[in-house]
Amino acid sequence: MCGIVGYIGDGQAVPILLESLKMLEYRGYDSAGVTVFNEKLETYKIAGRIKNLEEIIPENVSGNIGIGHTRWATHGKPETRNAHPHTSSDISVVHNGIIENYLELKERLIDQGYEFKSDTDTEVIAHLLHSKMSCDDKICLLDGLAQTVKELDGSYAIAALSNNDPDVIAFARKDSPLVIGIGNGSNYAASDVTAFLKHTKEVIFINDNEIGLLRPDSIEIYDLEGNSVSRDTETIEWDLEAAEKAGYEHFMLKEIHEQPTSIQNTFAGKLSELEGNVTLEEIYLKPDEVKRLRRATIIACGTSWNAGILGKYLFEKLAGLHTDVETASEFRYSNPVLCGEELTIAITQSGETADTLAAVRSSASYGCRSIAITNVVGSTITRESDSVLYTRAGPEIGVAATKTFTAQLMALYMLAINLGRTRGVISANEAKDLIVGIKKLPGQIQKVLSRKEEINECAVQFADKRDYFFIGRYLNYPVALEGALKLKEISYIHAEGYAAGELKHGPLALITDETPVVAIATKGHTYEKILSNIKEVKARDATVIAVADDDDTEIDKYVDVVIRVPPTHELLSPVLSSVTLQLLSYYTAHAKGCSIDKPRNLAKSVTVE
């Protein structure tokens, strides 16, 4: 999972490439590099972040064509020799993905006399491309790349340059994201639209098994058989400000504060309070198909998997639909028992999560209908699924998911209500109550955000602790999981999330007076049970931080610190609790001086297995 960028036009390539790489650095940041055509190809690369790369590029480097890369290591240590671009004589290549048969190709290329300088799989692409072009001087860069990718097993988004074809950038894509930006007298290629959003909002999304050429004034797209492909241009609605910090110290804090808007945008135009229904025109399931559904399977990874756990509770309660939640990386290697009357729901923020995509393809082989929940229009999952329910969160730059998580929850609420009404499980009045509550959420989230100072005080008080426990029951169990994940991701504090009833089955052995326990204790039918669990940990001298309703006067008797949230419908309380725990994690990491937007060893979008 890396970020690639290409530029060709009438401007200077180096500053544009560096600027674009900074916008893509969330995709990987252990090394970076660029190649520019300056009478001949010149390559500069180094371990570390983009600022390190800026320091090694001479000021006099000039050129109007170039490619760049920011890396997250998958093959080879994060060292300069493994940084992209990778070269082979007069060829330069950047790549996002994994070449699964690289060892076989490498052995063959070594036998042909090619010398490898890195440990990466990507270097085989450069040498293989060079071998295709050198066999016949008449073979152009595009033809050479077409022959090259036919021999690659795995995933790739590639941009390539050649001294022998100096007026174009060639590109190819399979199972890794690639989007073209259309400028005025210039064109761009990148892993993400944020790379060139400052320059253009007009884009073309490249599909799997497509290749093409960029020139300053034209774009050519072909399939692997050489047939020309026509593709409509799309306009990105995000503006540049949406992809910048807007005055906040970190992207994560900015994105936490954007949640009233992102949730509002996600449900806008879909809720009918009068009819007690949610209209999802993008879901291509007929009413009789919905009624025949026997089971749903939610497939996701990481934060999206935590959202899926809540989705399970919602679908079973509101739609009467037995629901399983599967970790995508495990599902693809298991032997699932599926049939045609089942629904697969894939949740992926980027729409490019490799394991989730593979799992959806696997379920499709059983004849299951699929719905994708994603934040990225035109991403691969949108083409792999029967229907797509978009979260309208806008670009999320911070590696730790915040606004995309709550937007996913909103999508799950809407889908559960929609299915429940169609299946006759919930009445119009029951749906109305939920819809009224949903419409109040943006304002209630704003109230949570207004309490950030008291949450900060709580975070600072316990920032020196080595371990945290998060506990919740029923709907608050996935909130506990997500709260623990956020804390460990950005503060590097060991944190565990548990179903509170499981404490006595082992975890209580780890509770001491040095272990803060966060109890999600909003009102609901498990409220008395969580109070009992709080008493259990207090009996072991733990300090308890409770997330509780504003009107809860009982909780203060049993805990050390209370963080208040506005009371809401029981089913909706996880949204407000999640925002609270995001702030707790953020301010804990801030107190510890951690790299909040770019936590160590993590990247935003996991586009490789």
Q: What residues are annotated to the active site?
A: 2, 604
**Cross-strand bridge partners of residue 222:** 211, 228
DSSP state of 206: P
Q: How far, in Å, CA of 404 to CA of 486, rounded?
A: 13
Alpha helices in 450-526 (DSSP H): 452-462, 476-491
CB-count burial class (<10 Å; 0-12, 13-18, 19+) for 447 = middle
Q: Terminal CA-to-CA distance of the chain, rounded, Å?
A: 9
| Torsion sign across C-alpha atoms 99, 103, 104, 107 | positive
Order of all β-strands in the sheet with 516-520 = 494-499, 467-472, 516-520, 543-549, 561-565
What six digits make up the tokens of 207? 């599909």
Residue 96 sits at φ, ψ, to 5 deg, of -120, 125
Q: What is the CA radius of gyration of the chain?
A: 25
| Letter string b/e over residues 495-509, b meaning 16 or more CB atoms within 10 A of that residue's CB | bbbbbbbebeeebbe
Residue type, 177: P
**Contact call for residues 351 and 301 (beta carbons, < 8 A):** no
Q: For residue 197, with 0-12 CB atoms within 10 Å meaning exposed, 13-18 middle and 19 or more buried, which class applies?
A: buried
Q: Following DSSP, what letter does each residue of 120-181 receive, concatenated?
A: -STHHHHHHHHHHHHT-TT--HHHHHHHHHTT--EEEEEEEEETTSTT-EEEEEEBS--EEE
Residue 556: count other Cβ atoms within 10 Å of its Cβ. 12
**Residue 592 to residue 528: CA distance in whole angstroms:** 35
Query: CA 42 to CA 507: how far, in whole Å?
Result: 57
Sequence-ordered alpha helix ranges (H) in 40-84: 50-56
100: nearest Cα among 128, 119, 75: 75
The DSSP secondary structure of 388-438, one letter per residue, reads EEE-------SSS-SHHHHHHHHHHHHHHHHHHHHTTSS-HHHHHHHHHHH
Closest by alpha carbon to 347, among 312, 321, 396, 313?
Answer: 312
